[in-house]
Structure 1
Amino acid sequence: MELATAALSSLLPKLGSLLVDAYNLQKGVRSDIRFLKDEMERMQAALSDLSKLPADHISDVDKLWARDLKELSYDIEDSIDAFTVRVQAGAQPPSLKGFRKFVHKIGLVKKITTRHRIAMDMSEIKSRINEVAERRARYNLPGVAGQPDATTIDPRLTALYEHVERLVGIDGPSEELISLLMKSSHGVRSQELMVVSIVGVGGLGKTTLANSVYERLKEKFDCHAFVSVSLKPDIKKVFGSLLRKLTRQEAGERDLDELISEINIFLRSRRYLIVIDDLWDNEAWEFIKCGLIDNNHGSRVIVTTRNVDVANFSSIGGSTYQLDPLRDKDSKMLFHKRIFREEEEIPSELEEVTNKILTKCGGVPLAIITIASMLASIPHRTKREWDSVYNSMGSGLEKDKSLKNMRQILYLSYDDLPSYLKPCLLYLSMFPEDFEVPRNDLVRLWVAEGFVDESEGSNLYDLGNRYFCELINRSMIQPVDRNQEGTTDACRVHDIILDLILIISGQENFVTMSEDRQLKSSVCKIRRLSLQGSKVDRDEDSKEEQMIQPVTVDVSHVRSLAVFGDGYQWMPPLSRFSTIRILKLGDFPCKNNQVKDLGSLHHLRYLEIASRSEIEHLEGIGNLQLLRTLDLSKTYYNELPASIVQLKQLECLRIHRGMRIPDGIGNLTSLQQLSTFNVASSPNTLAELGNLTELRVLRMWELDTDESYTPTFLKSLSNLQNIQYLAWNSNGGCYPDFDCVSDQWRVPVCIRRIVGHSTICQVPRWFSYLSDLSYLTIRIGRLRQDDLQLLGALPVLRNLTLIVPYYGIVDQPLAIDQPFLALSEFVFRLTTRCYLLVFTPGVMPKLQRLELPCRAPGDGFHIGLEHLTSLEHATVRLSVAFGREKDGEDTEIKIRNAIGIHPNNPKLNWRDL
């Protein structure tokens, strides 16, 4: 249902846009469009109502109706886009600008063929929508609805009855959790109510861990209960179960208020232990906590959930316990226990396939137990049989009855996703197994697909980033590459989750994936195509490649094409992708005959090419008037084609730092990201930057090559009042003075992040106005006391890295006496020699991570570390002169002593200077 709803959400605004007077459409066509819009809005409302029902209560007829509606929405949107492209190809008077120019251009649509085409398309679509509605009415008999599954057994119940001797890898987490529960934490007295939340992906063993701890501790409390909540809970039944397990009384005819009151009265004078298993949302917790009275008797509550936000929301006086996957050793032990007797060893011929299976399971106990149970049922333990199981693990999730329980548990997480997140998650089935997907790329792909709701009024990319974070918090994707700010730059999908979304994508005709040179014809239209080849060394002129024939299926309805590895070898010609919106070509050789038709892909919104060789035939790129993202950052190309300045809707331009940008880049007034721009090869672009007033991200290279660049850059920067991320780098040169600005110069106050890897003269005075600056990395030619005063007053600065050359020392030592109220990480580096910073009382109250240089011989670390009350990690870069190793050992002892007397006992790391 949600995928059809997402398709309609993208379509409805476009139907509305066709009704503006400027389109000058025939009266009958306008009437048809109004009819379509009204019908689609009502169908969207019906879909919304259906999506609120449990999946097993929706009739098969309604499911088929939703599928037909999704496909119809795609076709309507393709028709509208084709019309818009033809309109935008018309002439436009040079005197008009922006939206008025577009409106005028639409009014000039005189060609009979264009107007006739849209009329014919709307008429045909009107017939199809009537047919879809009639078919549903014809077969959806009154009183007939989907029947729920015959069994109502909770698939997670087995975790409650697992024998202790069969549990693996649970001792450590159990001890840690008990330690959290039985001791005071974060200043909370042990007698106060404490709620500790266990969070992790489905199948990780949260219920098993909670039950293990519960069984060990329950006799130490006056009363205890273990209750499961479920995805769509009946709160009254939850409280009835809680009352029964605590008091041995049945709920009877009591209403919800009476149940809560009875529980409160019973718990008022008792020390209790309660487990709330499988909590899904904050709303359910708001109800449940009404029954958990804080009686100052040392009561404890354990919550299990898959959602980080829910875990944080429900924790009271305790903390969140992140349950990690099993270690390799424990994974193998669990696998062994399920198949072999204790005295048996895994046969040597099965070692390799065992390791491959365990890698696929990724330390998730549910996956290991399920696959091991399946293997245990096979009479003959042969390599051939086990290889067969491994090769079918993904498809087996769908077909094998023994894996139904695992699939059901995992599907709960998918079913709980809001409708706007489901297509975003399923889109990740476009990527190969274990592929690390950059966050920014993924968000732009979602936007290009229309998955991000434009109606909410927020910036689409900010909203897409929130979607990304929500999927992480719901444990559906795994974060990788956390940066110094604690945010995530990329993600991957766990193999068992990937198997699930591959199945759902296939069932919903959402993504078609091919891992070989065979792509079967389908009765369904291919909407998204992923060609996933292997990463091998290739000779582009080999006979094998010349003999490979591209797939011959119909790709005229493909909206997204992603090519990985050598998948390009069987890619159909680009000219056949007539409605493509997204083209992602990875590790591509870019032969002339493969990219020559790029200029004809008029629907394209997103284009990314990664090539190991210089590409040609990009001149036609100026025809792609709907293009929003152009990523050539992994491509060898000397100069962007001049036609790029015609892409008025381009929002993101990523290029290799060696590419030259043509004059006229200032015409791209929709541009929000430009990286990496080489100042030395495109100096005229510096002046044009000032026209790009929507720019949010700017990365530059070789800004310090010429002293004349700095004033020009600063003049343009004054106009960039939306800039949030600013970075510059160099190969060495002059020291730009960023303070050479006039009194009329406007500070770009929206800057949140600055990364400067080429040295500037000093901390610019205008930095003091950057109230939103949270991340700063900067190389300073000269560090002074007032620089620290300025930086210490920035209200939200959380991460600071200062790099200073040895000759940039004016005062020694320097006292840090400004508060740095928000700073959580501070890195201070010198390029050659070291000197002291002194921390005064009350500074950096939130600092957790510190990195400082130290030189041997030295007098230790008597610099006021005791004043950094939140310090958790300290890294020391120790410099020892040749032949002075003994001094280095003495200095190390002094530093360890200084760290050792800190009240937090911070963790100490060593690095060479």
Structure 2
Amino acid sequence: MAAAAVVTVSMGVMKPVLAKLTTLMGDEYKKLKGLRKEVTFLQHELRGMDALLEKMDLADELDPQAKNWRKDIIEMSYDIEDRIDDFMQHVGEADNRVGNLQKASQYLKTFKDRRRLANQFDEIKTKVMEASERRKRHMLDQSISITAHVAVDPRLLALYKESVSLVGIDAQRNEIVNWAMDKGQQLKLMAIVGFGGIGKTTLANEVYSEVGREFDCKAFVSVSQKPEMIGLFNSLLSQLGLGTYSHACQLQDPINKLREHLLNKRCEVQLIPFYRYFIIIDDLWDMRAWYVIQCTFPPNNQCSRVILTTRNEDVARSCCGNHGCIHNMKPLSDQDSRKLFFGRIFGSENDCPSQLRKASYEILKKCDGLPLAIITMASLLACQQMRLEGQWEYIHNSLATKFATNSNYEEMMYILDLSYKNLPRHLKACFLYLGSYPEDHEIGKVELIRRWVAEGFVSNSVGEDVWDVAESYFNELVNRSMIQPSYDRYNIRISGCRVHDMLLELIVSRCKEDNFLSLVNDPQTVAEVQGKVIRRLNVVSLRGTEDDDVAITIAVNLAQIRSLSIRGQSNWIPSLLEFKFMRVLSLDISFL
């Protein structure tokens, strides 16, 4: 996955450090000699590094030097935060209300701590200066290219899928066809909303193919995350037979030409005042692009129709306003999922060998009705020369590792990763934190936002309630289809969420790559974390093949762990006295 190599957790690392440096500049520590000078230096350097980290977050690909520097800065940020917390815990200023004798007593008690921590601040300063020199020496600012590599967008392939391979969208297609072909004269807009890979493009293309011939002109254009608007309008112009513009033109030039054409179609003989158009705008990411695109659609009251697809419910609502219509994509039913899955491998479910059915159903459960996931997994299995039960079980258990280089898998993960990469920076750490929860787990909203706040992921301005801000983060992830909301028993209030299994695969691999979160659930993963610097640790008790608990003994520096989650009947329960800077502790023995 070349375009998905960058993992963005830097905001979740650097933000708490900068906030604590600001605290050290407060009145509580103003009498500590030399502290303000050191803190000011660190603030200046780290803010500069944070700006570069943000630039790296947007890059399509990083060279090895940039990756190593970025990884070192993240680890250094964790270390700095540990030192600051240690400093605040041991060397706070005495209350001004106490007497001079008590102040002198506190000073003497903390003298050794002051000396030790002063030396640690010197070490921090040295590391920061070395990192700054490496940045200049390797010219990292100049080496980062936001558009270094351009890959074929796999969404394009959905346009050319044969109709016979489409399963389970007949009802949805007919609903939208009926909407498009009704007799209403005013311009109508529909937004198709759903999770990445659920089939929005395929559905829109099926509607386009079926009803497009009923309109005087039609066009189908895709919007990228960072759309080049002249190129987008040139695609529209080309499909309408109007030529193209140079990229040096003014944006209003193609807009004016499109408006004029769509308002009144001109031909060689006469002006045709009654002109119906049908336009599909595929994969719209934000409102900024829509504000420009919508300028090309004049309300000519001739039964014209515009359909857009998006992963973001807020975008859909804003685009449609009071007069549009929103169609929420539905995942495939169990029956349609099986039809698509078994049809790809065997031709039909009846032709599947009995010994492979259990593994097949487990894989289908993992795909959770997501057409792209089902097709991808079925393609992986269909390509296996020998169809053995153990082989299918192995594939089920290792989809995100051994088969990560398979082109079909890459296509699916690329599409899923697009949603992740498009998240605002403040949401990326919150999203990756969902890897703290096991597969198919219903995550309580209140618990989740409390953990986000405790981890320091939530920023609130003066006058804002931090819990309200955290809840807005949750709502934004729901609106972006990154999490699936679950409701209370009255089906009224959103009480929690679930994470699609495929997105969880993405989260876990990213967490592992950037050491954001460490998961221990078997002897192999125990070995992977031994002696490793860990900040967030999740321990899940599993049972072995003989129904014996897997013994877990972990040798890590517990003082550095900020978040600990233990689920199941774990054999490893450390003493809480060993944790110096614990923020989150979650013990759940009801998991197994």
Mark yes or no: TM-score above 0.5.
Answer: yes
- Is residue 437–residue 491 contact of structure 1 (8 Å, CA) maintained in 2? yes
- C-alpha deviation, 1:83, in angstroms: 2.1
How far apart are the structure 1 equivalents of 2:399 and 2:411? Answer: 14
Distance 1:106 1:550 in 2: 45
Q: Residue in 1 aligned with 2:278?
A: 273
Report if the CA contact (8 A) 2:259-2:296 is conserved. yes
Secondary structure, counterpart of 1:226 in structure 2: strand
Deviations 1:541-582 (A, max 9, x none): xxx77x94632233331111111112x313444333333221
- 1:250 lines up with 2:253 in the alignment: no
Query: For the Cα contact (< 8 Å) 2:234–2:245, is it kept in 1?
Result: yes
Q: Give the CA RMSD over aligned residues.
A: 2.8
**Other-structure match for 2:374:** 368
Report the CA distance shift for 1:300/1:554 in structure 2 as closer, same or farther (over 3 A): same
Which residues of 2 match residues 612-623 of structure 1 at below 5 A? none
- 2:565 equivalent to 1:570: no
Deviation at 1:48, TM superposition (A): 3.3
Matches within 5 A, 1:428-443: 428-443=434-449
1:267 partner letter: L
AA aligned opposite 1:479:
P
Kindly tell me the number of residue pairs found equivalent between the two proteins.
567
CA deviations on 1:92-138 (whole Å, 9 max, x unpaired) are 69x89xxxx9xx98995442022113212211111111121222323
Q: Is the 8 A contact 1:551 1:572 kept in 2?
A: no
**Residue in 2 aligned with 1:127?**
126
* 1:394-793 map, 5 Å: 394-396=400-402, 398-455=404-461, 457-482=463-488, 486-518=492-524, 519-520=526-527, 521=529, 524-534=532-542, 548=551, 550-566=553-569, 568-587=570-589
Determine if contact 2:533/2:556 at 8 Å carries over to the other structure: no
> In 1, distance between residues paired with 2:129 and 2:449?
35
Per-residue deviation at 1:388? 1.2
Residues 108/428 of structure 1: CA separation in 2 closer, same or farther (3 Å cut): same
Check 1:173–1:291 CA distance in 2 against 1; reply closer, same or farther (3 A cut): same
Structure-2 residue corresponding to 1:886: none
Cα deviation for residue 26 of structure 1 reads 4.5
Aligned partner letter, 2:487: D
Alignment of 1:233-244 (within 5 A): 233-244=227-238
Give the match's secondary structure for 1:561.
strand
- 1:35-83 CA-partner distances (Å, limit 9, x unpaired): 11121122223333444x4323x44433332222222121111111122
Residues 106, 219 of structure 1: alpha-carbon distance in 2 compared, 3 angstrom cutoff:
farther
What CA distance in whole angstroms lies between the structure 1 residues aligned with 2:367 and 2:155? Answer: 18
Does structure 2 retain, via aligned residues, the 8 Å contact 1:22–1:106?
A: no
Change (3 A) 1:136 1:454: same
Contact 2:531/2:555 (8 A) holds in 1: no
Q: Does the 8 Å contact 2:445/2:497 carry over to 1? A: yes
Aligned equivalent of 1:139: 138
Measure, in 1, the Cα distance between the counterparts of 2:349 and 2:481: 37
Report the CA distance between 1:517 and its aligned residue.
Answer: 4.5
**Pick from 336, 347, 351: which aligns with 1:341?**
347
Q: Is the 8 A contact 2:339 2:348 kept in 1?
A: no
- Secondary structure of the 1:530 match is strand
Partner amino acid, structure 2, of 1:261? N
CA contact (8 A) 2:60 2:149 kept: no
Q: 2:209 aligns with which of 207, 215, 221?
A: 215
Give the match for residue 159 of structure 1. Answer: 158
- On the 8 A contact 1:509/1:524 being kept in 2, the answer is no
Q: Quote how far apart the aligned CAs of 1:514 are.
A: 1.1
Per-residue deviation at 1:470? 0.2
- Counterparts of 1:20-39 in structure 2, within 5 Å, are 20-23=26-29, 26-39=32-45
Structure 2-normalised TM-score? 0.89
In structure 2, the CA distance between the partners of 1:285 and 1:586, relative to structure 1 (3 Å rule), is same
Closer, same or farther in 2 for the Cα pair 1:35/1:134, shift >3 Å?
same
> Residues 804-883 of structure 1 correspond to what in structure 2 (within 5 A)?
none
Relative to 1, partners in 2 of residues 1:343 and 1:440: Cα closer, same or farther, differing over 3 Å? closer
Instruction: Report if the CA contact (8 A) 1:550-1:572 is conserved.
Output: no
Q: Contact 1:2 / 1:420 at 8 angstroms: preserved in 2?
A: no
Cα distance in 1, alignment partners of residues 472 and 394 from structure 2: 40
**1:786 aligned residue:** none
Give the TM-score, by structure 1 length: 0.59
CA distance in 2, matches of 1:107, 1:174: 78
Q: Which residue of 1 aligns with 2:180?
A: 181
Contact 1:397/1:404 (8 A) holds in 2: no
- Deviation readout 1:624-676 (Å, 9 max, x if unpaired): xxxxxxxxxxxxxxxxxxxxxxxxxxxxxxxxxxxxxxxxxxxxxxxxxxxxx
User: Could you tell me which amino acid in structure 1 is paired with residue 123 of structure 2?
Assistant: E
Show the counterpart of 1:228. Answer: 222
Q: Is the 8 A contact 2:196 2:416 kept in 1?
A: yes
**Closer, same or farther: CA 441–534 of 1 in aligned 2, 3 Å:** same
Is 2:198–2:371's contact at 8 Å kept on the other side of the alignment? Answer: yes
| Corresponding residue of 2:270 | none
Distance in 2, matches of 1:181 and 1:299, equals: 8
The answer as to whether partners of 2:59 and 2:146 remain within 8 angstroms in 1 is: no
In 1, distance between residues paired with 2:349 and 2:359?
21
Give the whole-Å Cα distance in 2 for the aligned partners of 1:68 and 1:319.
49
Query: 8 Å contact 2:14–2:50 — kept in the other structure?
Result: yes
Amino acid of the residue matched to residue 189 of structure 2?
V
Contact 2:258–2:296 (Cα < 8 Å) also in 1: yes
Q: Is the 8 A contact 1:4 1:67 kept in 2?
A: no
| Pair 384,552 (structure 1): closer, same or farther in 2 beyond 3 Å | same
Partner of 2:290: 285
Query: 1:827 corresponds to which residue?
Result: none
Residue aligned with 2:73, SS: helix
Letter in 2 for 1:302: I
Query: CA 1:258/1:548 → structure 2, altered by over 3 Å: closer, same or farther?
Result: closer
Aligned to 1:746: none
Partner of 1:10: 16
Partner of 2:315: 310
Give, in whole Å, the separation in 1 of the partners of 2:349 and 2:341: 14
Higher helix share: 2
Partner of 2:192: 198
Q: Secondary structure at the match of 1:513?
A: strand
Aligned mate of 2:72, from 35, 48, 68: 68
SS at match of 1:363: coil
Calculate percent identity across the aligned residue pairs. 39
Rounded to whole Å, the distance in 2 between the matches of 1:430 and 1:105 is 44
In structure 2, what residue type is equivalent to 1:301?
A: V
Per-residue deviation, residues 368-405 of structure 1 (Å, max 9, x unmatched): 00111111111111112111111112325634444111
- What stretches of structure 2 of length at least 5 have no aligned partner? 1-6, 265-274
SS of residue matched to 2:326: strand
Which structure is higher in RCO with an 8 Å CA cutoff and minimum separation 6?
2
8 A contact 1:397–1:499 mirrored in 2: no
Q: C-alpha distance in 2, partners of 1:444/1:87?
A: 28
What aligned pairs does 1:371-390 form with structure 2 within 5 A after superposition?
A: 371-390=377-396
- Structure 1 183/397 Cα, relative in aligned 2: closer, same or farther at 3 Å? farther
Q: 1:417 to 1:396 in 2, by over 3 A?
A: farther
- In structure 2, what is the Cα distance between the partners aligned to 1:438 and 1:343? 37
- Give the 3-state SS of the residue equivalent to 2:559 in structure 1: coil
| Separation in structure 1 between the aligned mates of residue 195 and residue 479 of structure 2, nearest angstrom | 10
SS of the residue 2:240 aligns to: helix
Question: Could you tell me which amino acid in structure 1 is paired with residue 205 of structure 2?
Answer: N
For residues 405 and 456 of structure 1, what CA distance do their matches in structure 2 show? 43
Instruction: Identify which range, 158-167 or 454-463, moves more after superposition.
Output: 454-463
